[in-house]
Amino acid sequence: MAKNIANDANYIEAARHSLSHVLAQAVCELFDGVQLGIGPAIEDGLYYDFDLHHRITEDDFAAIEAKMNEILKSDTVFEKRVVENPLDFFANTPYKLELVKELVAAGEEITVYESNGFVDLCAGPHVENMRELRNWGFKISSIAGAYWRGNSDNPMLQRVYVHAFPSRKELKEYYAFLEEAKKRDHRTLGNQLDLFFFDETAPGMPYWMPKGMKIYNKLLEFSRKVHEAHGYQEVVGPQLNHSSLWVTSGHWEHYDDNMFKVQIDENNTYALKPMNCPNAMILFKKKNRSYRDLPLRFSELSHLHRNEASGAMHGLMRVQTFRQDDAHIFCTQEQIASEMNGIMDIMDFIYGIFGLKYTAVLSTRPESFLGDIETWNEAEAVLKNVLDTRFGAGEYIVDEGGGAFYGPKIDIKVYDALKREWQLCTIQLDYQLAGNFELEYTDSDGKRKAPVVIHRAVFGSLDRFIGVITEHFAARFPFWLAPVQVGIVPVHKDHERYAHDIREELVQQGFKSTLDTSDGTMGNKIKSYRNELVPYIIIIGDKEVADGTISLRVRTGTQINGIPLSSFIDACKIMEQAYKIDLIENFDAD
């Protein structure tokens, strides 16, 4: 592959893959009896899987990196050639031989790349010459066990991960990013701030502590308020449903492994719901519906349960029980555009409140689909028009053939303060589920028709969203969302009565405030509130009691004295009602 600009994605992938060959050569030269697995490029570098008697540890990293640099000093080219007798050529390399047999059976040409006498099965591409990699920054990051081809019945190999970037400066910047991400890790912050925790008796099922529940409940309150303003009606369906419901919906066939099941007796099996869709269908079917009832918007914030593989769970980002701001909209084909725009209005508002940037992915008709092409084409045109209006033509991603078999969809990719990507919102058109449940409405012409169903969630999992915004804000939550909004510290016992009066007034106004009257020093009390990342700390001393004012320490570090309590409360109301991200630091006197 010809050398290209450093930020070209294809070139970077080829360079990382070339470095994986260099890593493999280095390990083979340093240790005896090495059998090679695979070594692809990945998002932040590369890895290679090895089978060898020596157990690679961090103590080996420096030697491997030194050997890699030694190899890179050559001017060797990466030479591609076709292997004429591949089964014989790879007879003594069992992992490669397994791959080769499959490729031969599929009629594929078998090629290798050779450099410095090192030969590896590979389709390419690679950089042309080793010298192109000399200025790259790379560092072995970790070692992990990995079953060959991800199958637990296969041998466990040693996977060596390497971070690799086009320059040493970029590698250094990446490690600075990783350090900042580590500081923001929601699992660490959740434990430090007493928000939530996990226990081995309930894997992937968080325990929410009092402070964490204040955040959770505030998001529920916020979601309910927004959706009610947009014409949604909140409903709740059963947690446990008979298998017949899931058979009708198709989940029993397609989602069976991800459901928690309860065997009642030999004839009856129930399952905890992994999603709300079937319950919404039952709710629609409860009444005879007319076109005048449409669009009908049901929202639901129930708990869901999904049986996840243990290796897939990660803090709040992937759990087995959660709540999501789920909604199902029943509408006509002609109402799709207005409903999509309404959903995008909600999304714009909510993500804007949290300062989250985002982009969209339109997934279109797959090869295997249900329904007629004309309906699909019309639906895709509607979604494309909505996205063209919102983002601009060509300013979003189109995933051709990436839609579900029952309808096209829009996925929203959200970016946090560290520019990491999270998928939170999905908007899915569904032409299948209404038919499964025989849902109908009477149209204006008197004919019975099936409604179009739109599935959507904006927060997605609320648990996951809390994990995302905890890292996004580094747990410095906006005032309106903070579990403790105001901490109060009296300097001496003589100041406690006035401090109590202040807290009582704040609580009456609806603000979450705590008063520290413990025996600790004033400095330690302030430090404790600061460690809790409380937005405002009120300090009460002689002057404040005498003047009827407060002194304030803002989380940003600003200190302000002589503020009338009424001015501070007015500012708090503004931050609460407007869902402001930034803390107010200017307080006008009465």
Query: What tokens does 502 get?
Result: 């202040």
Give CA–CA dist 584/361, Å, rounded.
Answer: 37
Query: What tokens does 150 get?
Result: 């991800």
Beta bridge partners of 48: 160
Check if the beta carbon of residue 2 is closer than 8 Å to that of residue 10: no
Structural domains of the chain, with CATH: 9-180 (3.30.980.10), 187-238+280-472 (3.30.930.10), 486-577 (3.40.50.800)
Q: Which residue in 54, 1, 46 sits closest to 20, CA to CA?
A: 46
- Counts of helices then strands in the chain (DSSP H, E): 18, 30
DSSP H or E stretch at residue 385? helix 373-391
Q: What's the Cα-to-Cα distance from 154 to each of 51, 146, 148, 264, 332, rounded to whole Å?
A: 12, 10, 6, 37, 51
Q: Is 291 exposed, middle or buried (0-12, 13-18, 19+ CB in 10 A)?
A: middle
Crossing angle for the helix pair 336-353 and 210-229, nearest 10 degrees? 140
Q: pTM for the complete prediction?
A: 0.86
List active site positions. 277, 306, 324, 326, 328, 409, 455
Mark the ranges of the chain whose per-residue pLDDT is less than 70: 1-7, 589-590
What pLDDT shows up at residue 7? 55
Those residues whose C-beta lies under 8 Å from the C-beta of residue 513, and which sit 6 or more positions away, are 484, 485, 486, 487, 488, 503, 506, 507
**For residue 97, how many other CB atoms are within 10 A of its CB?**
17
pLDDT in tens, 152-202: 899 999 999 999 999 999 999 999 999 999 999 999 999 999 999 999 999
